Structure 1
């Protein structure tokens, strides 16, 4: 019973029936009030016309016939004068008004409960026509007709609303069933609809939500798979070499080399852990930021100097063309941006290659160009280079100590600062990345 009361279909039907019942009651109240007071003007006009007809009948036989005819229609007509006893029950003041010299208009004595008594002055002074009209049968008939009509509307309307409520509630039941499937893990559920009304919009929003959840679930699965893979490889190396050293399978003179490998693998795990923690912090949208003014050109020089052991070892030619530029941003996060981008440029530039870093002022802000003469990126891979764990050449990236998270961190930090990055590349010619810092971040 409680389920029925909580049903939307039940509430729709109950609301409709309630509205009809209230309308029925209000209509009867208004109709009863109207029946108690018949419109006076219309009643006076009818009485005057009837009295005129009666007074035209001189023949007593015709007069009696006429009175009987009017009696059939609920009119009791009496010819009276000042001394008539029938006037004794009527208000004296109104009787006196009826017999005023020169009066031609009707006088209404009573007009209550559907019964009206009207007096009309006669042709000669001291005579009058008293007409009593009983409208109650007419009102009773109207009331019965109205009651029948409203009951018919109530019954037929209730049946129709009961039928139509099924179609109104059907989309909600579909949404409920789809939501239950989704809660059980089925993210492939989709709703079909024909009408583009409010329910259609709701179903389309549900489908859009399901698509986004499915996409997020796919990203989550890929993320877990990639993290597991990235962690499994160094852990396998560490476990294998430590076990071999522990069991004495590796001679003492070779153990240092294998310990170096173990150390490098632990560093690789540490970098992966740091990057994952940084990405998680940036994803939370509550990453602590400290915006302040600093010299962008000096920051770039510092990053390049700190990376000198990497690019000088490969005999890479580093060329700089920087402009004095002060920006308002989080300096530590921008350090991470330049470290990741320059680190990739150094990593993928062959021995004897070149890297160019220059700053230019553009119409929308300051552009930082970082171009290398490395092996380049295939065109089909360019749309994916900012995806997490995406590596153009997985085998080579592993040997170069990469995990595919560097550029994901870069794009997150740049978005946080409302900056943009554009990448152009050609296989065998190198890659250029252009970071645009908007004017709102510049201190001019």
Structure 2
């Protein structure tokens, strides 16, 4: 039972066998509870009519009469008061009777052997070919007492039907098992396809075709698997691009640092040149530092999940700190800032939330042309949710890039040269931090008109 196919076939076959046995037991119980007394009463009526006809028709010969009754589908046992006994019809499998039963019937009592027959679990009593599984009635013939015991002859009455039903049952089980094998193949095939697709994905191959037209659970699974594959493919492409971008961006400042460090060894440098080279080395070092910090932050957020330190702090005051920290940048680009900072408080990790405002505000400043404007608004609504809106008049984001800007490693606007191009991690960090704080972040943008980020956090 190593494969799902074999397991499914075995389990379904066992279900059929067990259910058949249970059905047989239930049918037997139903016979014992409801039908046994009915059959006993019915056979008692037949027995009484049989002896009544014999007693009321003197010209009938008893032996010939009972042979005729036996031939139409009954087994009979007749014993007189002298102990002489005769069997008519097919032989009983067991010809024993409890002591005293014959004498009781000869003395005028009725014998309800069918109703009193012992209960058995798997063999319905109606089919037991035993003398004690009969009904007995007394009668008189030619001034002599007799006891008649009678039951249906199953071989005569149901012989062909028993064979027919046995064959029908065997054929039904055989055909059912055959269709189980065939049907299981149909069920297991898409699972095998999923397994093969999983192996391909593990090997780095994402071009797979699955049957997503099915409307059942397997179709839903195939659809979800296909979506997951497309997502993994996109993530892998972005990861490769990210590695390429980071490698390039690390190599660029390292090359600059190396080149200008060698230039500093030249003895005939002026102080202005030396200061210029040192400032470039400092700037390139800062770029490397920011990139490494972003990677560390994202790695920490992935690992920590919801385990973060919570403080209560004023969001507006924190936003002012971020604006002061970036003052050199927005003043250098001559950007106008419009602030509406209502004093609101939230519970969260102060350091992480600070990183959210820093990333969003720095993005707006970076992609807003000189002389542009950035507006920052903070307020609390009636549902105790804090809204922080950062809006700029910058380059904007294309409609194609907009759905992916929060995915890590993603960098939009590849065709345009953007100053200080980043690593594609800033907005991923924003999204992750806001998500950890049970909040949401939304973005609206149009190329050439600007971008609006809105962060909503519980207070």
TM-score (norm 1): 0.74
**Residue 413 (structure 1) aligns with:** 433
Matched, 1:165 2:212: no
**Which of 84, 87, 107 is residue 86 of structure 1 equivalent to?**
84
Where does the alignment leave 5 or more consecutive residues of structure 1 unmatched? 101-105
Q: Which has the larger radius of gyration?
A: 1
**Residue 107 (structure 1) aligns with:** 110
Tell me if structure 2 keeps the 8 A contact 1:355–1:371: yes
CA apart distance, 1:49: 0.9
**Residue 340 (structure 1) aligns with:** 359
**Residue 203 (structure 2) aligns with:** 184
SS at match of 1:252: coil
Tell me if structure 1 keeps the 8 A contact 2:136–2:147: yes
Where does the alignment leave 5 or more consecutive residues of structure 2 unmatched? 86-96, 118-128
Relative to structure 1, the CA distance from residue 50 to residue 136 in structure 2 (aligned partners, 3 Å threshold; closer, same or farther) is closer
**Residue 7 (structure 2) aligns with:** 8
SS at match of 1:266: helix
Distance in 2 between the 1:5 and 1:434 partners? Answer: 50
Residue by residue, what CA displacement relative to the aligned partner does 1:137-191 show, whole Å, maximum 9, x if unpaired? 6389476665444434343433333333333333333232222222222222131
Structural mapping, 1:5-404, within 5 Å: 7-8=6-7, 10-12=9-11, 14-15=13-14, 18-19=17-18, 22=21, 39-59=39-59, 65-73=64-72, 74=74, 84-86=82-84, 95=103, 98-99=106-107, 107-108=110-111, 113-115=129-131, 116=134, 118-122=136-140, 127-133=144-150, 135=152, 138=155, 141=159, 147-192=166-211, 195-243=214-262, 251-253=268-270, 254-286=273-305, 289-314=308-333, 316-348=335-367, 355-360=374-379, 362=381, 365-372=385-392, 375-377=394-396, 380=399, 383=402, 386=406, 388=409, 390=411, 392=413, 397-398=418-419, 400=420, 402-404=422-424
SS at match of 2:308: coil
Distance in 1 between the 2:249 and 2:371 partners? Answer: 31
Distance in 1 between the 2:334 and 2:224 partners? Answer: 57
Relative to structure 1, the CA distance from residue 289 to residue 76 in structure 2 (aligned partners, 3 Å threshold; closer, same or farther) is closer
CA apart distance, 1:109: 8.2
Distance in 2 between the 1:174 and 1:90 partners? Answer: 68
Relative to structure 1, the CA distance from residue 85 to residue 279 in structure 2 (aligned partners, 3 Å threshold; closer, same or farther) is closer
Distance in 2 between the 1:401 and 1:200 partners? Answer: 43
Tell me if structure 1 keeps the 8 A contact 2:105–2:137: no
Alignment coverage as a number of residue pairs: 423
